Every structure is written in C-alpha cells, then in structure tokens.
Structure 1
C-alpha cells in the first residue's frame, strides 16, 4: 500500500509539473496534444522505473545495514536459511506427495539435505532404508535393513529420538562416520509409517525443532498422497460399479431382437451382433477414468443404434455435437448411463414413443464442457425430481424404488445416477454441475458441466 501511494504521488507531481511548465510558464501555452504526450512519456518512464527507483532492488528489500557491516548481514542470512527452507518446502512440489517409495525418498533427501544442518539425511519406512544421502552411503543402502538402533527406536516410541554419541547411534558398521543424529517419525494420522533422520559426523546435533518441523511437513504430504490414493480407488470402484450395472435386460432384449431378425433379415442381425460386441468391448476394456468425447460419443451411438433396432419407429434420436468437443476428455461411462435412463425411463413407458436428444458444447471462456441429455418421454414426478436434485443430484438409497417406470420396469437408474454423481465428486470435487429438470413441455433434461480437459 505504501509503495502504491508513493507511485500515485509521483504521477500526480509529474502532471502538475507538466501543466505548470507547458501552460503557465511558457508563452504562448503549448497545444493540448504535445502537453499530453510529454505527460504520458514521463509517466511511463516513472512507472517502468518504479521497482528500482522507488522500491529499491528486490534482494535488498527489508534488509538494514548492520553495525558490523556486510559480514553480519550475510551471517544472519545463512542462519535463516534452514527456516526459510522449511517455509519454502510448504509450497513446493515434494516427491513424497506421490507416496513413500524409494525413488520419491531419494529425491526428497536430495532436496532436504541443503536445507537442513546435517551431514547426511535419510528416510525409512518402519523396517527398511528407503534413501540415504551423505557420509555412510556405502553401508546405509536403500532396500536394506536399518543400520542404526536409533531409527527403530523412533518407530517404536513414535517420537523424536536425539542421540549425541556414536554408541547411541548404534550403527552396525564400526567405521561409520555418523556420531550424532536427530530422527523424527513420519505419520499418517496416528500411525507411524517411517522416519526422517538428520545425521552428523560430529558431536554437534542438528536442530531438533527444525527436523521435527520438516517431519511434520513430510507427514502432511504423505497424508495427502494417501488421500489421493483412496480417492483413485473410490473412483475406480464407482467405474467398476457402472460397468457391472449394464442392465442384463438390455442384453436379453437385444439378443431377442437379433434372434427375431436372424431368419428374415440375416445381414441386419449380423450387423447388430457386431455392434453389440463393440458395445461390450468398449465398456469392459476401456482403461483409465477419462477418454476423448469422440470415443464416448461412438459408444453412445452404438448403444442407441441397438435400442433403435429394438424399439423401431418408437425411438428417434437427435444429435447436436459441437466439433470442438470431440477432442475434449470426459469421464468414461458417464454419458451412456444418462442416455440409457432417457430411453428406459422416459421413452419406453410412453406408448407412442419419443425422441432422445444429445447435445454437447465447449465453452472456451469458462473452460467447461457441457453435455445435455433430454427426452420428451413420460417425465418425472416432482417428488422423484426433489429426491434426485437434493444435495447436488446425489441420489439416496431409497431412490431405486421411486425411479421405476409406470410399468414397473427399472430399478437401476437411482444407483446409476448415484454412482455417476459420486464418481464425479471423486474426479472433480466441487468443480462440476449435474442438474435434472422436467420442462413444462414434458420429458426430462439432464445437464452436466465439467472442467475442460
């Protein structure tokens, strides 16, 4: 704020000076255009030169000369280096963020060693050395058992262990250079999962508080890694549930349709059989949580072509797809269940049938992909709609019975929408929107907006 006021005052002074010189002191007064030009040039020069001329060099900000000269300032800076390192580490990308592995531990030790006041740094799990950098590397080998007796003590006690002599370190190698150490436990919640140790080749022990702060920081990153892993497992479970949910009645109905056409229209039956195999091949073999929209679009078209073969003229399909959306990435097996619900619970119960529409757009300004599935079928009761839209569209356990159609069919829509919503929660957090509505004209509209990938 102070720097901004200084800059504003400088600009105001410039324009006052320009006006006084060009309009008051000079006779005749300069025209408006040259006056404004001079003012703009001087203002630009001051604004561009502000960081160095008014605020001073960035590296010197906040430093004051010491009575002892520059050496004292340099000593103070070196003394603050470890503390600054811990603060910087909080906002940097830590290798352990991916989990407690040998590679991540080694890269973390390489990152920590310059920040900590120690000759060697190690990270272990509860039984083995994962990484060791510094004196003693020849026998403190990754993948091997912990060589010291101090590190296992930190694991057993669940608190920091400080040792000040070689005997207390308890290294199995008699010629080990390590004499003192501070070893702090790494935790996930209350569970000790390893240690971080700082070792010295002298009797001067490393700062205990600094090592504990670093251990707490690493523990936080390990907890986040664990949450990420659990989140991925949960998302995978939702995806597996969607795969397992592919309605067996759909399969039986399509096979019956194929069987009925086998005698009268063998070529059409063969084509439907090929499409059915493509449908299940994609559903079962698709890997990962995301796929290009073009792939999901092909999957949906395959499904709807099979349903059209079954329903005949009772089912019409309209596509409105922006070409830009074809290369965007969307969660796999998300659009097809929405379309299946439209067919099964919207069109199938309607005697005269109806139309299912799929619309997709990309908004480059908000960086979102919008997908809209609508039908002009039997619609949805207000109580059912309220149950579905409550809590961002997460469906409760009781919705399965509610979502059955007038003919008693169904039973899986509630589970499907619940799995989709919970899976989107796992993948996007609160950065998506899933809404369900019933227009006055009839039918049901499901709109999904997800971040553009």
Structure 2
C-alpha cells in the first residue's frame, strides 16, 4: 500500500503529463492552422480544389454525362439549393433538392429560352416565377439563370434555385458560368486541333501520292521484263506501304509501325537508286512501342531522300536512330545530302516560304500541337553539310491511342 505522499506525487505526475499532452496537441493544431493560412486563403484553396474536380468532367464539352458529374461540384462551389446545366435543346444536369421532373425541366427550358435569346442573366421571383409554372414545386425559392457564352454565342445556361437570389449570388453564378463556358471553349479547341491534325495528315498523304507513287510505279515497271519476281515483290511492298499511309483511322501509331512503313518506302526507293542509297538503323528495342503521331517519321526520311540525296552525287547515307532519354524517346534522321540554307529553313517552318519542304513544317506543327512548343523539330543543316533532324517524344501518353 502506497503512502498518501506517494499517491499525491503520482496524481501530480499524471496531471502534468496530461497538461503536456494537451499543450503539445494545441501547439500542433495551431501550427497546422497557420500552415493552412487564413480563413480567406483556406476558402480560396477549397474553391480552387472544387473547380478542379468539376473541370475533369467538362474536358470533352458540355455533355449529359460530364455535366451530370460536374454539377455536384459546381453546386458545392456556389452553395446553392439546386443547380441546373442546360444547352439550347435539353436540360443536361439537375443537382439538388428541387424536384427533378419532366414538367420542371420543361419550365426550366422556357426560362433559359429568354436568356439564350438575349444572352443576359435573369432572375425569376414572384409573379415571373409563377408564370413559368413554378408556383407549387418552387417551395418559396427564387430562380437565377446565367448564359453560357462560347465565342460570343450563347449556347446554354446555368440555372440556380435559392431561397433568395442576392447580388453576391448573381456575381458568383455569372463567374461560374463564365468558367464553365471557358472549359467548353477549351474542349472546342481540342476538337479543332484534332480536326486540324487530321487535315494535315490528309495533306501529307496528298503530298506522298503524286511524287512517290509515280517514281515507285516507274521503278516497278522497269523490272517487269528483266526481273518479274522482283517486280512482284515491289508491287506487294508498294501495296502495303500505301495501305498504311492511307489508312482511315487513328492519328497515332507506334515507332515500330512507322519504321516498318519506312522500311517499305526505302525498299521502293532502292529500286530507283540501287547501291547509291545506304541505310543505317540504331533503334533501342525499348522505344519500339512508343506512341508517335501518324506519319511523323516517314516525311523526314522522304525529305532526306528527295531533297538530300537526289541532288547529290555519289552514295547517299541515311541514319535513323531511336534512343531512351529518361521520360522521352529521342529519334533522329540524318543524311549526308546537299543540306539547306538555315534562313530558308526557318522561313519554311514558320510558314513564310513555299517549297518542297512542306512535310517538315507539317510534322513540326503537329508535334507542337500534340506535345507543346518545346517538342517541335530540331534541325541542324547548312548548304553542303547534310541535315540532322531530331524529335523528342514523351514516352508516357495515356491520352493517345493507336
């Protein structure tokens, strides 16, 4: 049995320990609050996080699926009773406590119709709200409808039901509507870039057609009587090359598929140049599966043959390399041909000069569109010094499929 003095000492020790623990917890909590910033800063961080969550669902534009998922976050952003997203034809998302019925959707479209016509925000309360038919199911709420304007055209509406529509809510809802419209513009820009890429691929195909097809058929014809077996082999290679080059689907391919097409292309060109054309390949096997824009390597090799070797005397050497460089794959095409004037090349890549090097500009533009301005072609050349073309491709491309 402990003495009273010992008991008191134990109680005091426990009390001191408890105070120390509470003090430590208080310090950590106060420190964490300081780390998070002021109340205003924390509110701003929360709003940005919510907007980020909503933006993921608007990447492809204002679709029913994306709007339905984004509306929940947008409602939280505004702190409103009910939030609706609609285009000119239909209600795409209805999120909140306001009853979602076919009748209420039809009434909402009638309300948004006036906003779509004049592109101005409108508040419905009292008589104007009852005129729409929201007399019983409105539950004392007021309705705010903001236009969604894309490229100066009103294409939809963001509507909010709230117990009272204040001036602050009007400003906030208009800002959110403007942000949604900006996401829609970005989605349209992505679509336009895709269409532009497809148009540029078609332009490359058109460039391949007249020059290469004419020369290939002439080369094949020259073997028909002297070497029929060789002629048949070239016909098969020509068919496989054109099938790949003129395929209808997919803006992307792999390094392996592009190299296979280039091999057929060079086989057909060797039928013309014979032993004058020498090819060297240095390809890292880990690069073969890397995704690249369709027809991005073949035009570079064709440039080396057409503009580097046709005008040169003696043997023409083309070296193609593909190597691992961390997060990127580095691919080069080098020739010992006649080279180009750097100033003229800059004008071609900038689109300020016409000429036979349109394939280089086409590839350069597409690489910048897909991967950013830092991923255009790097070209080292000078008259009489040959040409070295380098492209750097990110190895991880989850959004691109072959």
Q: Is TM-score (shorter-chain normalized) higher than 0.5?
A: yes
**Cα distance in 1 for residues equivalent to 2:382 and 2:27:** 62
Q: Given the alignment, which residue of 49, 54, 58 partners 1:88? A: 49
| 1:324 equivalent among 286, 294, 300 | 286
User: 1:427, 1:133 → 2: CA distance?
Assistant: 35
**Gap runs ≥5 in structure 2:** 1-23, 397-402
Equivalent residue for 2:122, pick from 144, 149, 161: 161
CA distance in 2, matches of 1:253, 1:120: 67
After superposition, the Cα gap between the structure-2 partners of 1:221 and 1:444, relative to the gap in structure 1 and judged at 3 Å, is: same
Shift of the 93–122 alpha-carbon distance from structure 1 to 2, 3 Å rule, reads: closer
- 2:370 aligned with 1:448: no
Q: Who is 1:31 aligned against?
A: none
Q: Say which structure, 1 or 2, has more relative contact order (CA 8 Å, 6+ apart).
A: 2
Equivalent residues in 2 for 1:173-184, closer than 5 Å: 175-177=136-138, 179-184=141-146
Tell me how far apart the structure 2 counterparts of residues 100 and 180 of structure 1 sit (CA, whole Å).
25
Tell me how far apart the structure 2 counterparts of residues 313 and 352 of structure 1 sit (CA, whole Å): 10
Superposition deviation, residue 175 in structure 1: 4.4
Q: 1:122 aligns with which of 74, 84, 90?
A: 84
5 Å matches for 1:279-294? 279-285=241-247, 287-294=249-256
Distance in structure 2 (CA, Å) of the matches to 1:241 and 1:91: 38
1:56 alignment partner in structure 2:
29
Distance in 1, Cα, partners of 2:102 & 2:42: 30
Q: How does 1:7-406 map to 2 (within 5 A)?
A: 55-56=28-29, 60-61=33-34, 86-94=47-55, 95-134=57-96, 135-139=98-102, 145=106, 147=108, 149-165=110-126, 167-168=128-129, 170-172=131-133, 175-177=136-138, 179-200=141-162, 202=163, 204-205=164-165, 207-285=169-247, 287-364=249-326, 367-380=327-340, 382=341, 385-389=342-346, 394-400=349-355
Give the CA deviation at 1:281.
Answer: 0.6
For residues 85 and 374 of structure 1, the distance between their equivalents in structure 2, rounded to whole angstroms, comes to 52
Given that residues 51 and 77 in structure 2 are in contact (C-alpha distance below 8 angstroms), is that contact kept between their aligned partners in structure 1? Answer: no
- 8 Å Cα contact 1:147-1:172 kept in structure 2: no
Scaled by the length of structure 1, the TM-score of the pair is 0.73
1:53–1:342: structure 2 CA closer, same or farther, 3 Å change rule?
farther
CA contact (8 A) 2:146 2:159 kept: yes
- Tell me if structure 1 keeps the 8 A contact 2:365–2:376: no
Preserved contact between residue 320 and residue 333 of structure 2 (Cα < 8 Å):
yes
Cα distance change of structure 1 residues 286 and 373 upon mapping to structure 2, 3 Å threshold: farther
Give the Cα separation in 1 of the matches to 2:246 and 2:237: 14
Q: Contact (CA 8 Å) 1:82, 1:116: kept in 2 or not?
A: no
TM-score, normalising length: structure 2 = 0.81
> Is it true that 1:438 corresponds to 2:381 in the alignment?
yes
* Partners of 2:283 and 2:322 within 8 A in 1: yes
C-alpha displacement of 1:263: 2.3
Show CA shifts across 1:301-324 (max 9, x none).
Answer: 110011112211121111111112
- On the 8 A contact 1:159/1:185 being kept in 2, the answer is yes
1:397 Cα deviation after fit: 4.2
**Gap regions ≥5 residues in structure 1:** 1-50, 65-76, 401-412
The 3 A distance-change label for structure 1 pair 446 and 82 is: closer
Counterpart CA distance in 2 for 1:242 and 1:87 is 43
CA distance in 1, matches of 2:351, 2:143: 55
Say if 1:129 and 1:146, in contact at 8 Å, map to a contact too.
Answer: no
